Structure 1
Amino acid sequence: MDVVSDAISAVRLGRPSSNRVRVTGSWCARLAPYDGAGFHVVLKGGCWLLSDGGTPISLGVGDAVLLPHGTGHVIADSPQDAAAVRQAVPFEDWAGEPGPDAGTDRDAVELLCGKYRMDQGRLHPLMAELPTVVHLPHRVGGQPELRAAIDLLSGELDARRPGSCTALPSLLDLLLVYMLRAWLAEGTSGAWPAVLGDPVTASALRALHTAPDAPWSNDRLAAEVGVSRPTLARRFTPLVGRPPMAYLTWWRLTLAATQLRDTPDTLATIARRVGYGSPYALSHAFDREFGTTPGRYRAQTGRPAVNA
């Protein structure tokens, strides 16, 4: 596994949802804060996005915007004042139908809007440091993978062809990956573009994520990456924000939390899978990190365990 894939899979819940919206005239819709990440892609025309506490952002054809922390926001045909924002129609009640002052088809705005459900309490630091709004403007020749995913999604929503129930969630997953890749490629803010751009740190993270159950030590990880132990510490710790073995401990426990939530596997099975020698060792470390036992965590969030 790679860091971006793991960062997504650790927090994803259920399947993503999406709507294709077409509207003309004057309109203003609000999405309340939610546990997850939202996105909008402009397929035709243009509109404005105003996140809670943010400044208006103009969106044009081909622009994509990701709201990774579920921030409440308004989308509208034009910049809105405070009074208009307060009167915005809840998105769930807004069918995207033309308003009373609708214009012609040439004035129509078409949007692809959707949500990813996420466990915001267990965010990987890569996801946690994403800004409130990730705006990815359309540029000719830029981010061809993202553009291709948008085109494929648009086609699936149009046609509803056989297999679309499988294709749509898969394409939405691709869209999230490509939006994160585009943000990392821009590298204008945050530490993680630098983390994944550093060959030593990126290689060390790849090794830890590929085999979290391996008996890692600083010496073994340095040898795996092909550098000295001091070099590994000097490159890894300032960029990631914690030493390699501290990061490994945190990641193992995050994986354990994900498996407690998403699988019925026994604590012993999960302990072996994430690199702990016994259920007791995992339980002790889990309680120290998250302030609760694996059993209580599973009872609150996950599936009942199978018999040992």
Structure 2
Amino acid sequence: MDVVSDAISVVHLGHPWSHRVRTRGSWCARLDPYDGAGFYVVLKGSCWLLPDGGAPVPLGVGDAVLLPHGTGHVIADFPVDAAAAQEKAVPFEQWLEEIGPGAGPDRDDTEMLCGKYWLDCSRIHPLMAELPEVVHLPNRVGSHLELRAAIDLLAGELDERQPGSCIALPSLLDLLLIYMIRSWMTETTSGAWPSALGDPVTAAALRALHSNPAAPWSNDRLAAEAGVSRPTLARRFTTLVGRPPMAYLTWWRLILAATLLRDTPDTLAAIAGRVGYGSPYALSHAFQREFGTTPGRYRAQAADRSAG
């Protein structure tokens, strides 16, 4: 696994939700904050996004926008401000019910894809945490070709459910999320994690740790894997990632343990072996120090959240 795949996998919950919206006339809808990420892609016409606490964002044909932290927002056909949003916006789910399937495409003023990803934000990877509240990816000729291809495939799949759609749709939605994050990483000039993954030494070390987190890593062994001296690795890795290599590995092992406790019935002993701990006791001690609860309680709480 690579860092981006792992960062998404550990927080991803269940199947994403998606919808193709066709609407016309004047409209204004609000979505309250939630645990997850949301997206919009404008296929026809234009609209405006007003994130809570942020400036309105105009969206034109082909524009994609990701709200990676579930920021509350208003989406509307006009340049909305906070006062107008409070007065005119209807709850998003109600708006979807009111517009129904919409008219034929020849009469639509606005057409867009929208959706949600459910995320467990209790142990989010710093790469995901670093994403801004709004990732706006304007449609520019020749840019983000993979993202554009995924959008076309998703739009076609939502137009007409074909055999295999139950697998194709969530897979395409996951692909869309990956491509939106990739696009942000190629465009941002200030993110720490794009810099870390763009640095050959730090990227090699991260790749090694994520490929085999249970291995008996040491600073010397990791430096050899990255092809540099131990001081060079420590300096570059710590500067770009924000913590030393072995501290990052400890944290990542515990994040993986939490994911396995949530998603599998594996025993604590089996999980300890999979994430590089010599015994269930050693894992339990480290887990409680990181999360403030025992692995057993964590698993029970995760099951309760999933049932609710």
Greater mean deviation of Cα atoms: 184-193 or 59-68? 184-193
In structure 2, the residue matched to 1:151 is 152
Task: Give the Cα–Cα distance (whole angstroms) in 2 for the partners of residues 289 and 98 of structure 1.
Answer: 47
In 2: Cα distance, 1:98 partner to 1:68 partner: 26
Match of 2:223 in 1: 222
1:161 and 1:248 map into 2 onto residues whose CA distance is 43
Q: Secondary structure at the match of 1:39?
A: strand
Q: 1:97, CA displacement in angstroms?
A: 5.7
Counterparts of residues 260-275 of structure 1 (less than 5 Å): 260-275=261-276
- Aligned mates of 1:73, 1:98 — CA distance in 2: 19
Instruction: Provide the C-alpha distance between the structure 1 equivalents of 2:275 and 2:151, rounded to a whole number of angstroms.
Output: 36
Q: CA deviation at 1:189?
A: 2.7
The runs of at least 4 aligned residues of structure 1 exceeding 3 Å deviation read: 96-99, 104-107
In the TM superposition, what are the counterparts of 1:19-38 in structure 2 within 5 Å?
19-38=19-38
For 2:202, give the aligned amino acid: T
User: 1:95 & 1:126 partners in 2: Cα distance?
Assistant: 32
Call closer, same or farther: CA 1:96–1:75 in 2, change over 3 Å: farther
1:7 aligns with 2:7: yes
- Check whether the contact 1:24–1:97 (CA below 8 A) recurs between aligned residues: no
User: Secondary structure at 2:71's aligned position in 1?
Assistant: coil
The C-alpha deviation readout for 1:96-148, integer Å capped at 9, x for no partner, is: 7669xx9x946510010000000111100000011000001111110110000
Whether the 8 Å CA contact 2:22–2:108 is kept in 1: the answer is no
Contact 2:50 2:81 in 1 (8 A): no
Q: State the AA in 2 paired with 1:235.
A: R
- Write the deviation string for residues 61-111 of structure 1: whole angstroms up to 9, x where unpaired: 111100010000000001113332113011111127669xx9x94651001
Alpha-carbon distance in structure 2 between the residues aligned to 1:287 and 1:133: 34
Residue in 1 aligned with 2:210?
Answer: 209
Question: 1:191, 1:118 → 2: CA distance?
Answer: 22
Distance in structure 1 (CA, Å) of the matches to 2:99 and 2:155: 20
1:306 aligns to what?
Answer: none
Residues in 2 aligned to 1:217 and 1:82: alpha-carbon distance in whole angstroms: 53
Please report the TM-score for the alignment, with normalisation by the length of structure 2. 0.95
TM-score for the superposition, normalised by structure 1:
0.95
Letter of the structure 1 residue corresponding to residue 251 of structure 2: W
Alpha-carbon distance between aligned partners in 2 of 1:200 and 1:302, rounded to the nearest angstrom:
39
* 1:40 counterpart SS class: strand
Structure 1 residues 67 and 161, CA, compared in 2 at 3 Å: closer, same or farther? Answer: same
Q: Is 1:43 the counterpart of 2:43 in the alignment?
A: yes
Q: Is the 8 A contact 2:7 2:127 kept in 1?
A: yes
In terms of mean alpha carbon deviation, does 76-85 or 195-204 score higher? 76-85
- The number of equivalent residue pairs is 300
Partner in structure 1 of residue 299 of structure 2? 298
Q: Which residue type is aligned with residue 38 of structure 1?
A: G
Per mean C-alpha deviation after superposition, the further-off stretch among 261-270 and 77-86 is: 77-86
Deviates more, 1:274-283 or 1:155-164: 155-164
* Cross-structure match for 2:199: 198
Letter in 1 for 2:161: R
Structure 2: tracts of 5 or more residues without a match? none
